[in-house]
Amino acid sequence: MGLRRRRLLTPYLLLVPGLAWLVVFFLVPALTQLYVSLQDGNFEIGYTFQWNWATYSEAIADYDEQFLRSIRYAGTATLLAFLISFPLAYFIAFKAGRWKNLMLLLIILPFFTSYLMRTVAWQTILSDNAFVTERLRDVGLVAEDGRLLATTNAVVAGITYNFLPFMALPLYVALEKIDRRLIEAATDLYASRWQAFRRVTLPLALPGIFAGTLLTFIPAVGDYINAQLLGTSRQYMIGNVIQSKFLVVTDYPAAAALSFLLMGALLICVFAYARVLGARNLEEAVV
Amino acid sequence: MSRESFESALERLLAERRHNRRRFVGRAGSAAFATSALGAFLSACGGAEGEGGGEESEERAATVNHPKEEFDEVVFSNWPLYIDKKVLRDFRAETGARVKYIEDINDNQEFFGKVRQPLQQDRGIGRDLVALTDWMAGRWIRLDYVEPLDKKNIPNERNLTDNLRNVSFDRGRRFSLPWQSGMTAIGYDSEQTGGDVTSIEQFFDPKYKGKVTMLADAREAASMVLFMQGKRPDEATIDDILAAIEFIDEKNRDGHIRRFTGNDYTGDLQRGNIAMAQAYSGDVIQLQADKASLKFSIPEEGAILWSDNMMIPQKPRTAYGAEVFMNFVYDPEVAAKIAAYVNYVPPVKGTQEILAKQDAKLAEDPLLFPTAEDVARLSGYPNLSVEEEQQMNEAFEKVAGA
């Protein structure tokens, strides 16, 4: 093989491991899923391939409520997580000094316990006759016959709590990277502290905001643990429907079709978001 | 799926319809010779979407022979907290074989979903014994997913209570033996209700809005409403069931039903989040140890009686070992140990007498040994065809999300 040809081939050869990974762990499962979603039948006689596109339209017609709810809950939780995480990350990056590592550890520490256990713990904390609920009743924030557990608030709070580190850590990394001299320069040029924050800190933190919101929003939309443990069937999200279709109703085509629709909806959301924030941020967020 | 296997599947479905029709005739006949009230009902009990096994399994049942063999392990999949683990140690002491006891059945459908693929491909599922509820046991038998029992290895089978001998989904018990029976009705916190619950109407009393839970199981939830509407679940039609599900939908939408649960209603009861739950009898007796105000009521309208049935899934590693274990737990001494721990209705004759010596109070508990009066009010699950079952599950799934 001539040197020239080898040079031409090298980039492709270097791509092989990555491509193989994508094919084996993404393309093949995705195509299998597409194949399953177009099957028809029932769980006793089995399912056969039929080009049954009706599953998709039925899935949208039957579960639009859960789709919209998932996006609403995940969106609210992402926003809340951002509002909590940004000051936190800002403080750790700029003000925590020698406490920095300890504070980062404190954010991560609860997540050494299993996701499920943490959510079950919230069941106890929020239960109807527990301390928290009783005090909130005293103050009047919860109605006398009201409750915290098994409500929308509990579910959204659970999602926010469970995904907080996915928001806080990328934000911290982005803020930490900012060159302080840029902020100094801004103030030297007569920017007020607010203007410096808005014109320098915030734009430079955008990649972190972008990464954090995606890392929070995407898994949150598909989450079903919080709705199942802290909510009721009136709070069930699309993840609950898919889980139940797959394991309880054993309607695999519908489960596969719903997963595909969820994937499609998320892709659209991400692309729209990337357009708004600019694709450069997407690249930087990934790097 | 190839055309050929699709056709054989279709054939099986048609064969099953034939079975359904036969069951209809069979049930009318069996009522004539049923001796006790419990007998009459249990012979129809279980929902059993079909009668007896598939043709293939009928044939295998006639010629079954599991010769004695060495075995050092029996793998048993069962529901959580459903045995006194001492029994497993006793079994090891007696036979030298270990029981690998897996508590991985939380839901009949879910478990079926998990192991369906290997079963359909005619492979084993790495288990020698499973315990499934009547209607699901019926489905496995009908689909030829189980190994027939060689009764020569289970002499203690003679201790099986008479009323459970001839169930519609397994005539003559050639594929299954009951593990425990139990009732599904109302568990309640007498502190919150301020008195006894005697009727399902109380469950839907507006003053308990947001304070009751129902099971996330179409059969269980619909059956309770059917009782309230004066219909016996085992005689209900699919239309009755869909109407019952509609009623549940209404009660769910207006927030009366707090949520639909699996076994986790126990947590809500313990923490006082709810006043009443659709519950399983044994669970509530177990919970009483921690919270004395919890009680279980078989309401005047009626309740479901079910059994979980031990079966040997196809291609087991040791069918003989599984049978030795079944024989072991059908010894009344062992059955009494299990009953004292799990507090469900033991299917083994002589258990009550042995239990009376150890724990007189438990031996008289009508939730372990139902009175004739209670039995008259009990019913099995609805009898449904495959299509009807799917219709029911889909309707309920839209309501309860499960």
B contacts of A128 (beta carbons < 8 Å): 271-273
d(CA A201, CA B331) in angstroms, rounded, equals 76
Please report the pLDDT score of residue B40 as a whole number: 39
From B22-31, B46-55, B104-113, the region with the lowest mean pLDDT:
B22-31
pLDDT tens readout for residues B268-327: 999 999 999 999 999 998 899 889 999 999 999 999 999 999 999 999 999 999 999 999
Fold of B3-179+315-365: D-Maltodextrin-Binding Protein; domain 2 (3.40.190)
Tell whether B171 is within 8 A of chain A (Cβ): no
d(CA B382, CA B343) in angstroms, rounded, equals 25
- pLDDT confidence band for B52 (50 / 70 / 90): very low
- φ/ψ region of B302 (left if φ > 0, alpha if ψ in -120 to 50, else beta) reads left
Across the A:B interface, residue pairs with CB atoms under 8 Å apart total 97
Query: For an interface test with A, which of B1, B11, B143, B260 has the most A Cβ atoms less than 10 Å from its Cβ?
Result: B1
- pLDDT confidence band for B163 (50 / 70 / 90): confident
Coil, strand or helix at B346: coil
* pTM for this model (two decimals): 0.80
Q: Is A247–B113 a contact, with Cβ atoms under 8 angstroms apart?
A: yes
Q: Is B386–A123 a contact, with Cβ atoms under 8 angstroms apart?
A: no
What are the boundaries of each domain within chain B?
3-179+315-365, 182-304+387-393
Please report the pLDDT score of residue B148 as a whole number: 95
Query: From residue A197, how far is each of A58, A202, A203, B29 by CA, in Å?
Result: 49, 6, 9, 85
Please tell me which of the candidates A127, A241, A249 has its beta carbon nearest to residue B393: A249
- pLDDT confidence band for B61 (50 / 70 / 90): confident
Query: For an interface test with B, which of A32, A44, A224 has the most B Cβ atoms less than 10 Å from its Cβ?
Result: A44
Coil, strand or helix at B98: strand
Residue appearing with tokens 């939908």: B249
Please report the pLDDT score of residue B20 as a whole number: 36
B contacts of A247 (beta carbons < 8 Å): 107, 109-110, 113-114
Please report the pLDDT score of residue B160 as a whole number: 95
d(CA A282, CA A269) in angstroms, rounded, equals 13
B contacts of A244 (beta carbons < 8 Å): 397, 401-402
What does the H/E/C string look like for B24-37?
A: HHHHHHHHHHCCCH
Closest by alpha carbon to B282, among B352, B360, B201, B338?
B338
Residue B54 has pLDDT above 90, yes or no: no
d(CA B183, CA B278) in angstroms, rounded, equals 10
Q: Which range, A267-271, B20-24, B164-168, B328-332, has the best average confidence (pLDDT)?
A: B328-332
Other C-beta atoms within 10 Å of B103: how many? 13
Other C-beta atoms within 10 Å of A171: how many? 27
Residue of higher predicted confidence among B13 and A134: A134
Distance from CA of A266 to the nearest CA of B (A): 22
Residue B146 pairs in a beta bridge with B313
Burial label, B349 (beta-carbon count in 10 A; 0-12, 13-18, 19+): middle
When pLDDT is averaged across residues B153-166 and rounded to a whole number, the result is 93
Please report the pLDDT score of residue A3 as a whole number: 82
Please report the pLDDT score of residue A279 as a whole number: 61
pLDDT tens readout for residues A232-270: 989 999 999 998 888 877 788 999 999 999 999 999 988
Q: Is A250–B114 a contact, with Cβ atoms under 8 angstroms apart?
A: no
**What does the DSSP 8-state code read for residue A199?**
I
Other C-beta atoms within 10 Å of B356: how many? 14
Q: Which residues of chain A have pLDDT under 50?
A: 287
Do the bridges between strand B129-133 and strand A46-49 make them parallel or antiparallel, or are there none, so unpaired?
unpaired
Please report the pLDDT score of residue A50 as a whole number: 85
d(CA B364, CA A47) in angstroms, rounded, equals 50
> How many Å is the Cα radius of gyration of chain B?
21
**What does the DSSP 8-state code read for residue A234?**
G
The helix-helix angle for B319-329 and B85-95 (nearest 10°) equals: 120
d(CA B384, CA B397) in angstroms, rounded, equals 17
Residue B170 pairs in a beta bridge with B167
Residue B33 has pLDDT above 90, yes or no: no
Question: Chain-wide mean pLDDT for chain A?
Answer: 90
Do the bridges between strand B257-261 and strand B303-313 make them parallel or antiparallel, or are there none, so unpaired?
unpaired
Q: Is A248–B402 a contact, with Cβ atoms under 8 angstroms apart?
A: yes
Fold of B182-304+387-393: D-Maltodextrin-Binding Protein; domain 2 (3.40.190)
The helix-helix angle for B238-253 and B386-400 (nearest 10°) equals: 10
Tell whether B292 is within 8 A of chain A (Cβ): no
Distance from CA of A214 to the nearest CA of B (A): 27
CATH code reported for the domain at A64-286: 1.10.3720.10
Do the bridges between strand B276-280 and strand B176-189 make them parallel or antiparallel, or are there none, so unpaired?
antiparallel
Which residue of B lies nearest to A124 if distances are taken between CA atoms? B271
B contacts of A149 (beta carbons < 8 Å): 273
Coil, strand or helix at B365: coil
- pLDDT confidence band for B30 (50 / 70 / 90): very low
Which segments of B254-315 does DSSP mark as H helices, in order? 265-270, 281-288
- Same fold for the pair B3-179+315-365 and B182-304+387-393: yes
Residue B198 has pLDDT above 60, yes or no: yes
Residues 6+ apart with CB under 8 A from B207: none
Query: From residue A205, how far is each of A168, A219, A272 by CA, in Å?
Result: 12, 22, 20
Tell whether B106 is within 8 A of chain A (Cβ): no
Which residue of B lies nearest to A65 if distances are taken between CA atoms? B398
Q: Is A250–B255 a contact, with Cβ atoms under 8 angstroms apart?
A: no
Distance from CA of B95 to the nearest CA of A (A): 37
B contacts of A240 (beta carbons < 8 Å): 401-402
Residue B31 has pLDDT above 50, yes or no: no
d(CA B365, CA B346) in angstroms, rounded, equals 12
B contacts of A231 (beta carbons < 8 Å): 259
Closest by alpha carbon to B388, among A42, A40, A247, A60?
A42
Q: Which residues of A touch B (CB under 8 A)?
A: 42-49, 62, 66, 123-124, 127-130, 145, 147, 149-150, 231-234, 236, 240-241, 244-251
Please tell me which of the candidates B12, B139, B394 has its beta carbon nearest to residue A45: B12
